[in-house]
Amino acid sequence: MSIHVMLVDDHRILRDALKGILEREHDIVLVGEASDGAEALDIAREVKPDVVLMDIGLPAISGIEVTRTILSEMPATKVIALSTFSDRRIVMQMLDVGASAYVVKSSGRDELLRAIRAVAHGRTYLCPDASAALIDSVRSKHPSESTPGEQIGRREREVLQLLADGHTSPEIGKLLHIATSTVEVHRRNIMRKLELHSVAELTKYAVRNGLTST
């Protein structure tokens, strides 16, 4: 099944470059493009894309606000944040409004395609620059400011790390040599203990607390 992708960026040259990348992929279909937030909302409502590549620095309405609106109206859509910067605050703002991935514009073609396919399959994806920015900010805190996984056990921590790295439950089962159903039990227990409600929230928790394997 093809992944229907919408592209939002106010720079025509970059949009054309990204279009060229997407149009060469057999499993990706470009269904719309927009140059500003208002246009993005109109087109998204019309085409209902699977994935939106969202430039954060849009004129008038920021990519953060456009993302918030799109996801409130179309929760099944996945948003990949595109930015020139990997600033921790911007990364967290996009994750907090519901973005499933963050990719800096200096990343290569393969990085972008990995992000698209990951979010299309329900995973969360952070490019190395974004992940490093978040982890560095956590590590720079005073130890008393964070409690990395104190509430969860060793096996739960392993499952959480692999979830945050984008692995599915069957993949985690194979890596840890346990049944998929056992992985699901661990995931439910982690969510209950941490009072979190989605894999995206688990990923943010793992990154904030230095629990990813990156």
56 inside domain: yes
What's residue 145's pLDDT?
44
Q: Are residues 126 and 176 in the same domain?
A: no
pLDDT in tens, the chain (214 residues): 899 999 999 999 999 999 999 999 999 999 999 999 999 999 999 999 999 999 998 888 889 999 999 999 999 999 999 998 877 888 888 888 999 999 998 888 999 999 999 999 999 999 888 888 777 665 555 444 444 445 678 888 888 888 887 888 899 999 999 998 888 888 888 888 887 877 777 877 777 766 665 5
What's residue 87's pLDDT?
78
What's residue 84's pLDDT?
87
HSE (CB half, 13 Å, CA atoms) of 81? 35
Domain region containing 197: 142-208
What's residue 199's pLDDT?
76
- Reported for 18-22, long-range contacts at CB under 8 A and 24+ positions apart, including other chains, are 18/53, 18/112, 21/109, 21/112, 21/113
Q: Are residues 104 and 197 in the same domain?
A: no
What's residue 142's pLDDT?
46
What's residue 63's pLDDT?
92
Domain-terminating residue out of 136, 158, 179: 136
**The two structure tokens encoding residue 21:** 């990348």
Is residue 130 within 8 A of residue 158, CB to CB? The reply is: no
The two beta strands, 51-55 and 78-83, are parallel
What's residue 146's pLDDT?
43
Q: Are residues 127 and 168 in the same domain?
A: no
The CATH number assigned to the domain holding 97 equals 3.40.50.2300
Number of domains in the chain: 2
Q: Are residues 66 and 118 in the same domain?
A: yes
CA 15 from chain centre, in angstroms, equals: 20
In sequence order, the 6+-apart residues with CB closer than 8 A to the CB of 187 are 159, 163, 169, 202
What's residue 187's pLDDT?
87
Instruction: Name the pTM for this structure.
Output: 0.67
The CATH number assigned to the domain holding 148 equals 1.10.10.10
In sequence order, the 6+-apart residues with CB closer than 8 A to the CB of 125 are 80, 100, 101, 102, 103, 114, 115, 118, 119, 166
Q: DSSP assignment of 107-134, as one string?
A: S-HHHHHHHHHHHHTT--EE-HHHHHHH
Tell me which residue of 47, 52, 197 sits closest to 115, measured CA to CA: 52
Is residue 53 within 8 A of residue 6, CB to CB? The reply is: yes
